[in-house]
Amino acid sequence: MATLTETPASYESLIVERLDYTPQMLPPREPTAAEDETRRHYLNHDYSLFGWLFTVDHKRIGLMYLVAVSVFFLFGGIAAGLVRTNLITPTGAILELDQYNKAFTAHGTIMLFLFLIPVIPGVLGNFLVPIMIGAKDMAFPKLNLASFYVWFFGALFFVYQLLVGGLDTGWTLYPPYSSKYSHTNVLYAGLGIFITGFSSILSGLNIIATVHKMRCPGMTWGRLPLFVWAMYATSVIQLLGTPVLAVTVVMLAVEKLFGIGIFDPTIGGDPLLFQHMFWFYSHPAVYIMILPGMGVINEVLTCFSRKNIFGYKAVAWSSVGIAVVGFLVWGHHMFLAGQGYYLGMVFALLTMLVAVPSAIKVFNWTATLYGGVISFQAPMIFTLGFIVLFTVGGLTGLFLGTMGTDIHLHDTYFVIAHFHYTMVGGMMFAWQAGLHFWWPKITGKMYSDFWSRLAAIVMLVGFALTFLPQFVVGYLGMPRRYPNYPPEFQIYNVLSTGAAYIQGLGYAMPIFYLTASLFFGKKAGNNPYRATGLEWQTTSPPEAHNFPETPTVYFGPYEYGVEDGLRIVDDLERTAKPSSNGVYATANQGVTSGH
């Protein structure tokens, strides 16, 4: 970068030159209007119902997940609305006591099992992982379709059980309440969770096999986009954790069916055993929910600050670190459950350990922002929101992971606020960032800039006002899962409920302007953000097999404005042969090994 040592004419001109777009390879030619009319891509190559329902194309399956997940999010949102509305008055505004139990359980279970766990892996993971590593499809395309249907029908069955009989145990399903006293559909709802869990295992397996075996030439582990690293770590957790939940639910079902005391102490069982086995999955499961979101943040952040990620290796390995250490901290959910004082101390210590890789990520993101050329388009607003909200959520998590403070804060609204900051402020915002960022790639259309920025701000404001009061009221001692509370807590609850409506409005807005963009949106072009990732080097929407030919990768995923990158592209331009269809020129055609 010779120009750096000279005095530039103006700061702006230097930045533009230095941080200009570096293509991963020669960018595909933008199709002309006439070509666009006849071009076949994954959306229009087959319009039949059969072609959608039985597709093995990972991109179409991703879109099916998008529709299904959005519908389930609506259900979970309605349940949340009922809960919050009921909490407007200290004695419960609209619901009976058992209805309230069913409403918050429906909100929790639907949002966790049918939204947060499948949303980014199902939609963006499916759509992007093969494209990002230059593959034509997932390693096991039919298995991919199967895991969608297993999840979908399991989810429908689960929602049906919630609607006809309800479930009032909370999402944690603790026995002996769930196995002995609850008169709701615990057994069948458990079966629904078991089925969706099976899908989670198969998706995780598919992603790991894809990342290991399907990478295109030149796509080394050190050049994997960090979203792929995050999805890989997520899949490891899905693979290792979910089977344990499955067998736990089976044992719960056996206890309920035959009355054998596995978990019920009155007939010889041990309820703590259930809690251990449940949290062995369910604590890592919160990392299933947040890691893909963190992966999205890396992609969006680098693009909209026009900078390489700070500390690629640290960010990549911190994902794996979270996945590994995340399996060792489940006991911090059971400090007050009677697991023993010294065991609690060990778990408190290990919980501090898992904060380290999360903090590494946050520090690396802020370091990436430093000195970058930041533009505030909707995906970036969501991303910055993520960093702030996730930091708050993460730091309040330390209060709960420390035994002394947890005794005071356990099972209060402080816990609710904490995990909503990580799950909603984290994952939901990351999901919105990712959806907006890749929407032009998925659909080929650009959404409204104004409305998307407005929606991002409405969501941010609504979110912060909903959950900040809950920290306060939780600290003051309001327990979670109670429909009634002392009148002096009403002001906090009214604030929270009012803001929840604003939040709801925010989540509704994308439905309208994203749908509108499909019909009225401008054509996005292949690379509207001038990003460097491999997925931007193919057409929008991508063709059925993603790339006309297997691409070859020569450098890392975030090389925004690096002079080496420019030099390599120059070399490429000189040496590459134009391929037969003239769209691509790759130097190393026909190389088939993934390494």
Which C-beta is closer to other proteins: that of 248 or that of 432?
Answer: 248
Which C-beta is closer to other proteins: that of 213 or that of 567?
Answer: 213
CA atoms within 13 A on the CB side of 161: 21
In angstroms, what is the minimal distance from the CB of 298 to other proteins? 25
Distance CA 47, CA 38 (A): 15
Which C-beta is closer to other proteins: that of 57 or that of 168?
Answer: 57
In angstroms, what is the minimal distance from the CB of 544 to other proteins? 10
In angstroms, what is the minimal distance from the CB of 594 to other proteins? 7
- 517 CB contacts (<8 Å, ≥6 apart)? 439, 443, 445, 446, 447, 448
3-state helix, strand, coil in the chain (%, to 5): 70, 0, 30
Contact 355, 398 (CB under 8 A): yes
- 342 CB contacts (<8 Å, ≥6 apart)? none
Instruction: Give the Cα-Cα-Cα angle 473, 479, 482 (nearest 5 degrees).
Output: 115
Distance CA 151, CA 195 (A): 7
- 17 CB contacts (<8 Å, ≥6 apart)? 3
Kindly report the three-state secondary structure assignment for every residue of 390-409: HHHHHHHHHHHHCHHHHHHH
Residue 546's DSSP bridge partners are 543
Which C-beta is closer to other proteins: that of 58 or that of 436?
Answer: 58
Which C-beta is closer to other proteins: that of 216 or that of 514?
Answer: 216
- 355 CB contacts (<8 Å, ≥6 apart)? 394, 397, 398, 401
Which C-beta is closer to other proteins: that of 270 or that of 543?
Answer: 270
In angstroms, what is the minimal distance from the CB of 260 to other proteins? 4
Which C-beta is closer to other proteins: that of 528 or that of 594?
Answer: 594
In angstroms, what is the minimal distance from the CB of 469 to other proteins? 40
- 445 CB contacts (<8 Å, ≥6 apart)? 439, 517, 518, 521, 522, 523, 524
Which C-beta is closer to other proteins: that of 205 or that of 349?
Answer: 205
Contact 120, 430 (CB under 8 A): yes
Which C-beta is closer to other proteins: that of 107 or that of 333?
Answer: 333
In angstroms, what is the minimal distance from the CB of 147 to other proteins? 12
Interacting residues with other proteins (CB under 8 A): 135-141, 143, 201, 205-206, 208-209, 212-214, 239-244, 246-248, 250-251, 254, 258-262, 267-270, 273, 277, 545, 550, 592-594
In angstroms, what is the minimal distance from the CB of 554 to other proteins? 18
In angstroms, what is the minimal distance from the CB of 57 to other proteins? 10
- In terms of C-beta density within 10 A (0-12 exposed, 13-18 middle, 19 or more buried), how is residue 10 classed? exposed
Which C-beta is closer to other proteins: that of 58 or that of 223?
Answer: 58
- 489 CB contacts (<8 Å, ≥6 apart)? 90, 473, 476, 478
In angstroms, what is the minimal distance from the CB of 506 to other proteins? 38
Closest CA to 303 of 19, 570, 525: 19
In angstroms, what is the minimal distance from the CB of 341 to other proteins? 20
